[in-house]
Amino acid sequence: MKIFINDKEILSLSETQKKVIKNEINSDIFDEDMERRLKYILIHKYERCFDRLKKTWEPKLAADGAKSFPIDKDAFAELVFAREDYKDRKALDSENEII
């Protein structure tokens, strides 16, 4: 089993590794179960990151006079990303870098 992101192989499970997992996961649903687990991990990470983004930015937006916020997660995120004072992790790390 090989797992790719953007055509780059990020993980390869040998047949023996798959058999170890199949000791606990029925082989009839193995592929489906592995897909479900990968999706869960990525969606869980997104949800936690979004929660922190919202917790950080709702007070800032309110302080700037916003009376309401988009319910749609993507719309809220794009509202934040469009601000001049928004900085992603790379920009924040660059600012805090010791030279």
Domain boundaries, the chain: 29-95
> Would you state the pLDDT for residue 13?
95
Single out the residue of 74, 58, 56 nearest to residue 66, CA to CA: 58
At residue 38, what are phi and psi to the nearest 5 degrees? Answer: -65, -45
> Would you state the pLDDT for residue 31?
95
The 3-state DSSP composition of the chain as helix, strand, coil percent (nearest 5) reads 60, 10, 30
Q: Going residue by residue through the chain, which has 99 residues, state the pLDDT in tens, using 9 for 90 and above.
A: 899 999 999 999 999 999 999 999 999 999 999 999 999 999 999 999 999 999 999 999 999 999 999 999 999 999 999 999 999 999 999 988 876
> Would you state the pLDDT for residue 33?
97
> Would you state the pLDDT for residue 98?
72
> Would you state the pLDDT for residue 59?
96
Q: Regarding beta strands 8-12 and 2-5, do their DSSP bridges make them parallel or antiparallel, or are they unpaired?
A: antiparallel
